[in-house]
Amino acid sequence: MRRLSTLPRGTKRLYGICLHLAVGASIWGYNIGILSSVLVHPGWREALDDPTPAQIGLVTGVYYLGTLLSFTLLSHPLADYLGRRRAAVIGTCALCLGAMCMAAANGSAAVGIMALGRWICGVGVGVVSTAVPLYQSEVSPAKERGRLNQNRPRWLLEKGDGDTASQVLHYLREEAMPAEAITHELHAISADVESRRKAGTTFVSLSLSLFRDASLFARLWRAFLLQFMAQMCGATAIKYYLPTLLKALGLEYRLALMAGAAEMTVKIAMTIVEMWAIDRFGRRACMTGGSLIMGVAMLVNGLLPIMYPGNENKVADIICIAFIFIYAMGYSLGLGPAAWVYSTEIFPTSVRARGLNFAASGGSIGSILVSQIWPVGNAKFGSGIYFFFMVVNFICVPVIWLLYPETKGRELEDMDSLFGKSEERNATLSLGGVAEDVGEDGGDMLSTTATHEEDEPLLP
């Protein structure tokens, strides 16, 4: 790897911008992770006057109501019409406002103020998590896009400000590329923007095409259902209520928090293993195998507390804790990362961002349901609530195996042989040969589109 001091000036600027914006990705995890610790904190419970299970579910789930609204209606229009940078600033301001509301929550209206703050944070996270990846992907050269993952140049060209777009692109590519290559890149972006303008590929038309085009809709409902299952398997409950569950198994407050941190560490380690396993064994094998592991873990955690109530058997409690960690391993080896990988690769580049936004709303809906079901169900049925999620996980196995074709080893262009060629892709290919990877997600280089014999679609 080249030393920082030897990198071209434009590359240093690019890395600095992307590194700064990458902090935005941590907001999502922080907003999820911090609440699990807050829910068991004595000071928080006192400030909210010992909230009921239904109120805890409200405070937890309303966050995803905000992300649902943001993903489906707000984040992309903001990024398209105001620009990625301004959208990210607006999202950050929303996060600050939400945090202020949560910090001020006290007294008789504490639950309402806390819920309002959580909802505002959900809206802000949806905007930031849409605008930041778009900005990063669009300012990054094609060869480094996976690592850094040109809003500014592309958005400026979309608004008709070619001079400023040229200045920004030269600023980001200074010393890294010759002037001719920068000019060629600018022309490529401009050609793609113009072709989309002629084709009428606006936010509304792209969004509607996901529902009107049979091939795209076949991908959309699968991605939506996959994200929904990834949360309905119980992941949201474990994320938010893990310290609460561990306390119920007899761990003291501080030890429960430490165990929660250890569980997150296990997830990180297993995600690294998943990066190898998903290409070695395939997407379906990882997702179905992970669902089986999670189903067994839920079965054990539901059964043992019924057999040995009141923490009377320490060995049973330890086994339950161990299987919570096994559940985390199953999630991180399966639906956790794989749902996003699968959802990303099945959409054509031209509608990928829209498709992922709609698919992510499936995860938001699942999270809203689970965050409500778990605390109320746990209070009413005790460990019996685990059996509900056990059934969900076991149902996921045949659903994934029968309805989701394997995408391992397939090029993005080969998805048409699985789902049928979309009209959106045909329209894109007919406009001057702009390659599919020059899309509204941020592609910026021209290439020739290979012609090949089309396979019959395997799925409707």
* Contact in structure between 298 and 389 (CB atoms under 8 Å): yes
Looking at the fold, whether 306 and 331 belong to one and the same domain comes out as: yes
Same-domain check for residues 11 and 27: yes
Q: Looking at the structure, do residues 195 and 270 belong to the same domain, yes or no?
A: no
Q: What's the pLDDT tens digit per position in 237-273?
A: 888 888 888 888 878 877 888 887 888 888 888 888 8
Read off the DSSP letter of residue 447.
-
Q: Identify the domain containing residue 70 by its residue range.
A: 1-208+430-460
**Per-residue pLDDT for the chain (460 aa), expressed as one digit of tens each?**
455 556 566 566 656 666 666 666 566 667 777 787 888 888 888 888 889 988 999 998 899 899 889 888 888 788 777 877 788 889 889 999 999 999 898 888 899 999 999 999 999 988 887 777 666 655 555 444 333 334 466 656 766 667 777 776 766 666 566 777 777 777 777 776 776 666 555 667 777 888 888 888 999 999 999 999 999 999 888 888 888 888 888 788 778 888 878 888 888 888 888 888 888 898 899 999 999 999 999 999 999 999 988 777 889 889 999 999 999 999 999 998 888 888 878 887 677 778 888 888 898 899 899 988 888 888 888 889 999 999 999 999 999 999 999 888 776 667 777 787 655 555 444 444 433 343 434 333 333 333 333 333 444 3
Residues 147 and 256 in one domain: no
pTM greater than 0.75: no
Residue 46: how many CB atoms within 10 A of its CB? 11
198 in the same domain as 273 = no
Q: How much is the pLDDT for 155?
A: 58
Closest among 273, 262, 238, 224 to 378, alpha carbons compared: 238
> Rg for the chain (alpha carbons), in Å?
24
Q: CA 263, CA 314: separation in Å to the nearest integer?
A: 20
Side chain identity at 163, as an amino acid letter?
Answer: D
The answer on 368 and 330 residing in a single domain is yes
| pLDDT value of position 421 | 67
The number of domains in the chain is 2
Domain shared by 65 and 113, yes or no: yes
Q: Are residues 294 and 372 in the same domain?
A: yes
- CB 342 within 8 Å of CB 193: no
Residues 249 and 391 in one domain: yes
Looking at the structure, tell me whether residues 380 and 396 fall in a common domain.
Answer: yes
| CATH number of residue 172's parent domain | 1.20.1250.20
What are the tens digits of pLDDT across the range 416-451? Answer: 777 876 555 554 444 444 333 434 343 333 333 333
Token pair of 49 as six digits:
């006057």
CB 13 within 8 A of CB 172: yes
DSSP 308: S
| 178 & 220 share domain | no
Confidence (pLDDT) at 116: 96
Task: Note whether 331 and 182 are same-domain residues.
Answer: no
